[in-house]
Amino acid sequence: MPKPPDTSTEIPAEDLEGFLVRHRLPEAFRDTATSFYLPLAARLPSFREGDETLLLGINGAQGTGKSTLADFLDIAAASLFGWRSAVLSIDDFYLTLAERRSLATSVHPLLETRGVPGTHDTGMLDTTLDGLVALATEERARLPRFDKASDDRAPEHEWPVVTGPIDMIVLEGWCVGSEAETNDALAQPVNGLERDEDADGNWRGYANEKLKSDYAPIFDRLDALVFLAAPSFEAVYRWRLEQEQKLASASGGRGKGLMDADGVARFIRFYERITRHNLAALPKRADAVLTLDEEHAVTACRYKS
């Protein structure tokens, strides 16, 4: 395993402070940022081919800190290398509610729920990546955004704007870099949702085929992949439940769309198959693997030799 590059260069203290405040992170997270995130940021030029735009993928289950890491790398790349970055979440490329309802009618009812491959507009994602790579000096582009409160695409005038040229694109998401499973693997349901509501396997089969045909060509464009490795799928469920409980406490139990334990259990079952597959497969394929413990804390980072 190669030694990490020298990381004596630090980002300005005010940038780190702003990052901690923006993400409402405890002071203890400063150690994570400097011990694990900054060394990863220092490696970014090694993933880049000359002056070509670096396309970096970040994969991790819910609650692993994908957006937090993406924001840090954006800040650090600007500070360390003077790079301009565009940060995208695959969640912002969900099909519209009307499109998913159409899929629910024509293919399978479970496809109305956003999440699995087949519920994203991969054509829009591909076009967005092409546009960002080609962005000329001082040319501007809007980054798509999805409004989860309305379960639909946000109005275009609300999309953030970036200015070219773009040195790095960060694409984060729970299924970024995921690979399709074999037909044999699909045969056995992984949970009650698949057993009771997808008994014939059409839903998971459709998602798997889309992962193979529509998502794989996009993921093949990645120059490097970072994997935030949760300790287990059970930890992901617990983290999501804790998040809901905190939201309920903060809102006095009146928050819109809050889920109880049964609701959280059903929600994460949509993601369970691919998440479990990623936990088994991505540590071997990712260029950097950040290992998380039961309390969300990063405990180690391993780089591909």
Q: CATH number, domain at 205?
A: 3.40.50.300
Q: Which of 4-8, 39-43, 179-183 has the lowest mean pLDDT?
A: 4-8
Amino acid at 156: E
Give the SS3 label for residue 137. coil
Whether 2 is in a domain gets the answer no
What is the per-residue pLDDT for 1?
Answer: 32
Structural contact between residues 63 and 96, judged by C-beta atoms closer than 8 angstroms? no
What is the per-residue pLDDT for 3?
Answer: 37
Residue 6 has pLDDT above 50, yes or no: no
For range 186-202, the mean pLDDT: 97
Kindly report the average pLDDT of the chain as a whole number: 92
Whether 215 is in a domain gets the answer yes
47/51 Cα distance (integer angstroms)? 11
Whether 149 is in a domain gets the answer yes
- pTM for the model: 0.92
How does pLDDT run across 245-268, given as a tens digit for each residue? 776 666 565 555 577 888 888 989
Whether 88 is in a domain gets the answer yes
What is the per-residue pLDDT for 153?
Answer: 95
Q: Determine what percent of the chain is predicted with pLDDT higher than 90.
A: 78
Whether 7 is in a domain gets the answer no
Whether 4 is in a domain gets the answer no
Residue 243 — pLDDT band, cuts 50, 70, 90?
confident
DSSP string, 61-110: -TTS-HHHHHHHHHHHHHHHH---EEEEEGGGGBPPHHHHHHHHHHT-GG
115 DSSP β-pair partners: none
Q: Which of 17-21, 178-182, 228-232, 241-245 has the lowest mean pLDDT?
A: 241-245
Whether 77 is in a domain gets the answer yes
Residue 2 — pLDDT band, cuts 50, 70, 90?
very low
- Domain range for 97: 13-303
What is the per-residue pLDDT for 7?
Answer: 43
How does pLDDT run across 25-67, given as a tens digit for each residue? 888 888 999 999 999 999 999 999 999 999 999 999 988 999 9
Higher pLDDT, 254 or 22: 22
Whether 234 is in a domain gets the answer yes
Tokens of 267: 């929600």
What is the per-residue pLDDT for 242?
Answer: 82
Total domains, the chain = 1
Residue 13 has pLDDT above 90, yes or no: no
What is the per-residue pLDDT for 5?
Answer: 41
Q: Which residues contact 7 (CB under 8 A, 6 or more apart)?
A: 38, 39, 42
Tokens of 258: 């809050």
How does pLDDT run across 101-144, given as a tens digit for each residue? 999 999 999 999 999 999 999 999 999 999 999 999 999 999 99
